[in-house]
Homo-oligomer: A and B are copies of this chain.
Amino acid sequence: MDNAIKKMDRPIPLGVVKRLPVYYRFLTGLMKKEIERISSQELADKLGVTASQIRQDLNHFGSFGRRGYGYRVKELQEVIAYILGINQRKNMVLVGAGNLGKAIANYSSFREKGFFIKAVFDNDSAKIGTVLANCKIKSIDFLEEFLCSNNIDIGILAIPVENSTIIAKMFEENGVKGIWSFAPINIKSRRNIVVENVHISESLMTLSYRIQSE
């Protein structure tokens, strides 16, 4: 892990950060197949980027791989996991227990990576009191109180656009470090909080274009 820590004081460009989970997922797949090493060219071919791009990306956090040998899969996967904060426990709250909220809550691979849902909130009285992801769904009225008395890293927004700004503000004012938003709007990152938007419909539009043009 020493190689990585050496350069962690240099900020990593967001474009690089967004590729790290792709590398991580792919390397994890290789580990499952018990593949121990891979050349940057093979890695590049599989991921549809250039070998030089991969070398440049990895160079941001240390020197990995050797000419003629390639990368040690396990070492690289562990370094990337470390940089991404995977397996370093993160507490989350989920706001919105609709179909999307349920899909997120039941996605067990998050838990395996150290992301835990500590509480679920909704404003639908039919849902409040029922159980999701081992949590009894609470009324949204208790969200602020919960945030005040618990150390929450990530707030998940799986609610319609209309209410998302109010809840995002509540997250921000009560010490939540990051918002993972599925509300189809851009919530701007503010001073004290980081926002990651998942725009599902944008990928459908990209697909729509590619169907017509390819």
A207 to chain B, nearest CB (A): 4
Neighbouring B residues of A103 by C-beta, 8 Å: 98-100, 103
> In the complex, which of the residues B12, B153, B199 contacts A211, with contact meaning CB atoms closer than 8 Å?
B153
Would you list which residues of chain A between 32 and 82 have a CB under 8 Å from chain B?
none
A111 to chain B, nearest CB (A): 11
A18 to chain B, nearest CB (A): 5
| A202-B21 contact in complex given A178-B207, A178-B211, A180-B207, C-beta closer than 8 Å | yes
Would you list which residues of chain A between 149 and 202 have a CB under 8 Å from chain B?
153-154, 177-178, 180, 184, 186, 194, 196-202
B109→A213 contact, CB < 8 A: no
Neighbouring B residues of A202 by C-beta, 8 Å: 18, 21-22, 25
Q: Give Cα A209–Cα B92 distance, bound, in whole angstroms.
A: 15
A30 to chain B, nearest CB (A): 12
Among the stretches A83-91, A120-128, A137-145, the one at the interface with B is A83-91
